[in-house]
Amino acid sequence: MSRNNRDSRFKKRGKSSSGQSGISGLQSGRLKILTNAQTGVSRGVLDAALEFGSECGGSCAEGRMAEDGFVPDSYPVEELPGADTSDSIRQNVKDSDGTAIIFFGDIEDEPEEALDYCVQLGKTYRLVNGGDLQPGQAGKVIADFIKEKGLMTLNVTGPKSSATERAQRFGYETMRALLGLGPKKRRNPEKSQPTTADENGSAQVSDGDQNGNANGKPRSNKSPGQRRRRGSGRRFPRNKASDSQSDVTQD
């Protein structure tokens, strides 16, 4: 894929918020955000990025297919020819410098696929347990990840709304915290609002190492053509933070 084709998936919407810094010191236009605009975390992330005027986009399934029908045209993502949702997850992992994978207790479905693709493609990632973090804490974890790895293009993925009702709200508030936004009215107030994230819980994050290990647990070696069966539900212990010192580097 040519650079011009890659760049065509990034759209800059809204007015620039120059001078308004986030918790990581990021300003509008300095970070590109990728998602596939599926329901849940991905759309919440895009909602916040669009409000902030940040550069955002990504690849979505052919026909803009989504679990609720179609991805609305207001989301600046482009169809990937012949692709399903899994293919779009892989493409966004490939096109980004690193991926933030949000999950809630178990790593399954979209988060699990993203993790597998990060390992297969040798891309750095950060696991963010939304079950143990408030959105502001999750935003700080991702901001630290961006600074530590020098990321210019960040892919963010997480569960769909059908997996957890709070997914879209959590993605929105996490990205708003990352980009430094205060409370704002959403672009589409008539859209049903998921519940907010848990108030309690300790931070729990993890990086991938050269073998794709998380929390020191070995992962099976799988060829790029193989896909993990959905719903295996990798569970991470609560109240035990871990952050691997070794990350997967880009090719």
To the nearest whole percent, how much of the chain has pLDDT over 70? Answer: 60
Query: Does the pLDDT at position 241 exceed 70?
Result: no
Query: Residue 191, Cβ neighbours under 10 Å: how many?
Result: 12
The answer to whether residue 135 scores a pLDDT higher than 90 is yes
- Residue 236, pLDDT > 90, answer no
Angle at 164 between CA 163 and CA 165, to 5 degrees: 130
pLDDT for the residue numbered 21 = 37
Which residues, including other chains, have CB under 8 Å from residue 220's CB and lie 6 or more apart?
Answer: none
Higher-scoring residue by pLDDT: 32, 221: 32
The DSSP call for residue 104 is B
- Per-residue DSSP letter, 187: S
| Listed range (41-50, 72-81, 139-148, 227-236) with the worst mean pLDDT | 227-236
- Residue 147 is predicted with a pLDDT of 87
Sequence spans of domains, the chain: 30-185+204-213
Q: Which pLDDT tens digit goes with each residue over 61-110?
A: 999 999 999 999 999 999 999 999 999 999 999 999 999 999 999 999 99
12 close to 154: Cβ distance less than 8 angstroms: no
Distance CA 250, CA 102 (A): 21
Q: 230: how many CB neighbours lie within 10 A of its CB?
A: 12
Q: Which amino acid is at 33?
A: I
Q: What is the pLDDT of residues 155-194, one digit of tens each?
A: 999 999 999 999 999 999 999 999 874 334 344 444 444 4
Give 30-185+204-213's CATH code, choosing from 3.40.50.450, 3.40.50.10320, 3.40.50.740, 3.40.50.970: 3.40.50.450
Percent of the chain beyond pLDDT 90? 55
Burial class (CB in 10 A: 0-12, 13-18, 19+), 65: middle
Which one is predicted more confidently, 149 or 167?
167
Tokens 């935003």 -> residue: 139
Residue 129 has pLDDT above 60, yes or no: yes
